[in-house]
Structure 1
C-alpha cells in the first residue's frame, strides 16, 4: 500500500500537468497521456499496473457514461436520432463484422467468434478523445450532436457484441434464436431498469431532506447501482446507466437545488477527468506486460504490430464507407435535412471528416482488459494478441487521426459554410432580451400592488426596465429576496418552454440556466 499510494498520487499529478501542457500545445490531452504512460512503463522499478478484469467495467464505465448522459442534449439526440442510431448500432455491427472477417482470414488461430470479440472491443469510437480534439476546432452543432449521441450509444451496442462473442468463444457455438431473445432482453431490460431506478432516485432526492453534499454523494453512487442491478438481471448495465442518466438529466431542475447543481458540476467534472486520465495512462503502462505475454506465446512483435495496423485500417475504412452510405441515404430518403455545402468537393469531404473522428480509447481498453485470463482452466486463446492489437488501434487512432483531424478540418475548409458564430450570438442576445422582457412583465403582473408600497421592489423594476448593470443590495430584505427567487424560478420555467423550440441550441439554454443558478446562490449569500 505504501508503494502504490505514492505512485497513484504521482499519476494524478502527471494527469493534471499533462493536461495543462496539452492545452498549451493545443492537442488532445489523451494523446499525451498515452504517450507518457508508454514512456513511463519503461522506467525500471515502478510497480506493475494490474487491474482485475472482473472490476474494470464496474470501476470506470458507470460514472463515465453517467456524466456523458448528463452533458448531452437530449433534444439534439431526438432531432438526429436516425443517423445517431445508424452509427451507434448498424455501423458498429458492420465494423465488428468487417474486423471479424478480416482477422479470421489473415490472423492465424482467429475464429469468427474471436474476430467478433476483437471487433466488439475496437468498434466504438471514444467520446473523450473526440471531445478533447474538438475543443481546438470549430464544427457545426449538428456534427457535434451526432458525434456525442453516437458515442453515448455505441458503447452499449459494442459491449453487447463483445458479450455474445465471449459466450460463443467459451461455448464453441452460437444459437441465433437464444441470442436474439437475450439481445432483446439486454436492450429492453437494461433501458427499463435504468429508467425505473432513475425515477426512484429522483423521488429520493425530492422527498428526503438532502443538501448539496448528500445530493452529490448520491449521484456518485447512483450510476454504480444502475449498472450493478442491471447486470444482476443479465441485461445491459451500460444501457441502464445511459437511459437512467438521460432521464435524471432531464429532471435536474426539479429534484436538485441550484447549490447542488453548481457544486455537483465541479465535482463531476474533476472526478471524470481523473478517471479518464487514469485509463489513458493505464493504456501506456500496460504495454510491457502485454508484450511479455506475446513473447511467451511465441508471437513476433513486428507480426503483432502488422496485425494492429491492419485492424486499424479496417476500422477507418469501415467508418468512412459507413459515413458515405449514411450521407447517400439521407440525400435519397430525407433530402430536407441533408447537409448543404457551396461545392461538391466540400460535400464529399464531410463523410471523410466524420469517418476520421473514430478515435478509440476508454471503452476499448476496458473491454480488452475484461477478457478473462483463463477459459475452462486453460489460458484464454490469443488474449495477449487481442490486448496488443487493441493497444495499437488506440495508439494509432489517437496519434494519426487525433493529431491530423484539426488540420484536416481547419485547412480543408469543410465546415466553413456551416459555422455561423454571428447567428449563435444573435440567438444568445435574443434569449437575453426575452428574459428581460419576461422578468419585467412578471413583476408588473404579479406584484403590481407591492410596486407602489416598497421602495426596494420599485428599484428592482427600474433595474430591469432600464437594464442597469449596477448592483445595490442595501435595500434587500427577506421579502424582496423571496420575490427575486420567485422571479428566478419563473425564468427557469420560461427557458424550459423556450427549449422546446428545436431551432434553439440547448447549450445556450443550459448556459442561461447555469447563470440563474449562480444568481440564486449570490442571493442566498446576502
Structure 2
C-alpha cells in the first residue's frame, strides 16, 4: 500500500512541477530533476530506490516506441548521415574520451573507465527536443535530435555490455569480437523490430475494438524489446544447447517497431480508435518521462552513501573534468562532423548543403543526459566474475549522476537563451506541408464528388451543399498558406483575414452551443450521457479549428 501511495505521490509531484515549469518558462525535465533533489532531503519521506530493471523494461521500451511512432520516416532517412554521425560516431568518441579522462584524473582502471564512458555517452530522448519544439527551431534540428536520441541508446548499451564484461572479467576484449557483437546486435534488433511491428499491424487489422487495439499497441514495445533481449539466449541455450551469449538490441527493436507501426497504422485502425490511441500515448509518455526525471533527483542520497573513501576535493575535480569532457567533445565533434566531410569530399556537398552555423551550435549544445545513463550505472554488478568488488562502482555512479545533473541544468537552462540569442525560429515547413496536404485532400474530395454525382442515390441539392463546403474548405486552407506581407498579393491577404475571421466565428458559435448544453444538463433537461455525446461532437468541431 505504501508503494502505491508513493507512486501516486510522485505523479502528483510531476504534475505540480511540470505546471510550475510551464509558468516559469523552464524546461520541465530540469525542474523535475531539481524537484527530485529537493524531495530527497525532505525528512520523513521514504527513500526511493531506482531499480535498473524497472527502467530498462518498464520505462525505456514504451518511451522509445512512442518517440519512433511519432517520428517521420522520410525526415529520418533524409538526415541519416547526420544522425549516424551523432548516434554512432559521437557515442564511440565520447566513450573513449571520457575513459581516458576518467583513468588519468579520477584514477579509474581502464576497464571501469570505459564503462563510465559508455554509460554517459547516449543523450536523453526527451530533454533536448522538448526545448527545441517549445521554442520553435528549424524542423531539421528537431529531426536530428530525435533521431540521435532514438538510436544512440542502442550504440551506448552495446558498448556498455562489452565494457562491463571486460571489467568484470567475464569476457576478454577483442576488436573483432566486439565488432561482430555490434553487427549481430544491430541486425538482430532490426529484424525483431520489423517482425514485431508487422505482427502488431496484422493483429490491429483483425480487430475492431478501440480499447483492445490500445492494449495491443501498449504491448508492442514490450514484445519487441523482450523478444530481442531474451529470445536469442533462450533459443541459443534452451533449444540448441550452445555456449556463448548472443545479444540482439532490444532498444533498436523497440525503435524499429515504433517506426513500422507509425508508418502503417493509418490502414490498420479506424479514425475513432486512432484519436483515442493518440490521447492515451500522450498521457503515458508524459507520466513516464516525468517519473523518470524526478526519480533521477531522488537517487542522490543512495549515490553519495558509498563515497566515504573519496575526498570532496577529488570528487569535485573528477566530476568537473568529466562533465567538461562530455560537453566539449560534443561541441567539437558536431562542428567537425558538420563541415570537415563537406570540405574534403564532394559527395556530402552534393547530398547535403553546408548546415548553417546557428543550427550546428544548437545541436552541439543539446546533449543532455537522462535516466538511461543512471539506470545503466545502477545496473553495474557489485562484484566481478572472480568475486572481487567491481572496480570503481561507487565513483562511476557519482560521476554519472554529476554528468546527468550538469547537462540537464547547465544545458537545459542555457539552451533556450542560446536559441533566442542566435535568432533561430521555426521554418514553418511542417505547417506548410500540412496545409498542402489539406488542400490536396479537399481537392480529392471534390474530384470524387464529381464522379459520384451521376449516382442515383446522390441528390443534386445535397451534392451542391457538399461541393460548396469543400470549395470553402479548400479556399480556406489555401488562404492560410498565404503569409501577409509584401510578398503576398491583396487577394491572398484578404483570404487570410477571412480564414481567421471564420475560425473566430465558428469558435464563438461552439462556445454558445456548449453554454446551452451545460444549462440543459444543469436544469435536468438532458441526461449526462446525452450531454457527453453532444459535448464530444463540439470538442471535435472546436479541435478542427486548429487545423
Q: Bigger CA drift: 51-60 or 240-249? A: 51-60
Instruction: Name the residue aligned to 1:228.
Output: 226
Q: Bigger CA drift: 264-273 or 376-385? A: 376-385
Q: Please say if 1:357 is aligned against 2:363.
A: no
Measure the CA separation in 2 of the matches of 1:331 and 1:138. 27
Instruction: Name the residue aligned to 1:239.
Output: 252
Instruction: Name the residue aligned to 1:131.
Output: 129
Measure the CA separation in 1 of the matches of 2:405 and 2:283. 25
Instruction: Name the residue aligned to 2:310.
Output: 299
Measure the CA separation in 2 of the matches of 1:40 and 1:384. 22
Write the deviation string for residues 321-362 of structure 1: whole angstroms up to 9, x where unpaired. 111111213532323422465xxxxx3x54332211101112
Instruction: Name the residue aligned to 1:489.
Output: none
Match of residue 338, structure 1, among 353, 362, 370: 353
C-alpha change, 1:369 and 1:446, in structure 2 (3 Å) is farther
Measure the CA separation in 2 of the matches of 1:317 and 1:67. 30
Q: CA deviation at 1:64?
A: 0.9
Contact 1:373–1:380 (8 Å) recurs in 2:
yes
Contact 1:4–1:47 (8 Å) recurs in 2:
no
Contact 2:381–2:390 (8 Å) recurs in 1:
yes
Instruction: Name the residue aligned to 1:117.
Output: 115
Match of residue 400, structure 2, among 381, 390, 400: 390
Q: CA deviation at 1:466?
A: 4.5
Instruction: Name the residue aligned to 1:316.
Output: 327
Q: CA deviation at 1:215?
A: 0.9
Measure the CA separation in 2 of the matches of 1:200 and 1:468. 38
Contact 2:51–2:375 (8 Å) recurs in 1:
no
Once the two structures are superposed, the pairs formed by residues 33-52 of structure 1 within 5 Å of their partners are 33-52=32-51
Measure the CA separation in 2 of the matches of 1:180 and 1:105. 26
Contact 2:55–2:372 (8 Å) recurs in 1:
no
Measure the CA separation in 2 of the matches of 1:280 and 1:75. 30
Q: CA deviation at 1:469?
A: 11
Q: RMSD between aligned alpha carbons? A: 2.5
Once the two structures are superposed, the pairs formed by residues 363-442 of structure 1 within 5 Å of their partners are 363-376=372-385, 377-413=387-423, 415=424, 419-421=426-428, 427-442=433-448
Contact 2:137–2:427 (8 Å) recurs in 1:
no
Instruction: Name the residue aligned to 2:60.
Output: 61
C-alpha change, 1:451 and 1:429, in structure 2 (3 Å) is farther
Q: Secondary structure at the match of 1:294?
A: coil
Gaps of 5+ in 1: 342-346, 471-517
Contact 1:276–1:362 (8 Å) recurs in 2:
no
Q: Please say if 1:326 is aligned against 2:341.
A: no
C-alpha change, 1:427 and 1:278, in structure 2 (3 Å) is closer
Measure the CA separation in 2 of the matches of 1:450 and 1:25. 61
How many residue pairs align between the two structures? 461
Q: Secondary structure at the match of 2:126?
A: helix
Q: CA deviation at 1:197?
A: 1.8
Contact 2:50–2:375 (8 Å) recurs in 1:
no
C-alpha change, 1:248 and 1:63, in structure 2 (3 Å) is same
C-alpha change, 1:129 and 1:457, in structure 2 (3 Å) is same
Instruction: Name the residue aligned to 2:515.
Output: none
Instruction: Name the residue aligned to 2:466.
Output: 460
Instruction: Name the residue aligned to 2:284.
Output: 271
C-alpha change, 1:425 and 1:156, in structure 2 (3 Å) is closer
Q: CA deviation at 1:124?
A: 1.1
Instruction: Name the residue aligned to 1:150.
Output: 148
C-alpha change, 1:174 and 1:435, in structure 2 (3 Å) is same
Q: Secondary structure at the match of 2:280?
A: helix
Instruction: Name the residue aligned to 2:269.
Output: 256
Measure the CA separation in 2 of the matches of 1:352 and 1:426. 26
C-alpha change, 1:35 and 1:438, in structure 2 (3 Å) is same
Match of residue 165, structure 1, among 157, 163, 167: 163
Q: Bigger CA drift: 171-180 or 398-407? A: 171-180
C-alpha change, 1:466 and 1:54, in structure 2 (3 Å) is closer
Measure the CA separation in 2 of the matches of 1:42 and 1:196. 46
Contact 1:294–1:301 (8 Å) recurs in 2:
no
Q: Secondary structure at the match of 1:247?
A: helix
TM-score scaled to structure 2, two decimals?
0.79
Q: Please say if 1:102 is aligned against 2:101.
A: yes
Q: CA deviation at 1:218?
A: 1.2
Q: CA deviation at 1:465?
A: 3.3
Once the two structures are superposed, the pairs formed by residues 487-526 of structure 1 within 5 Å of their partners are none
Measure the CA separation in 1 of the matches of 2:65 and 2:464. 45
Measure the CA separation in 1 of the matches of 2:81 and 2:192. 24
Measure the CA separation in 1 of the matches of 2:252 and 2:73. 15
Q: Secondary structure at the match of 2:172?
A: coil
Q: Secondary structure at the match of 2:306?
A: helix
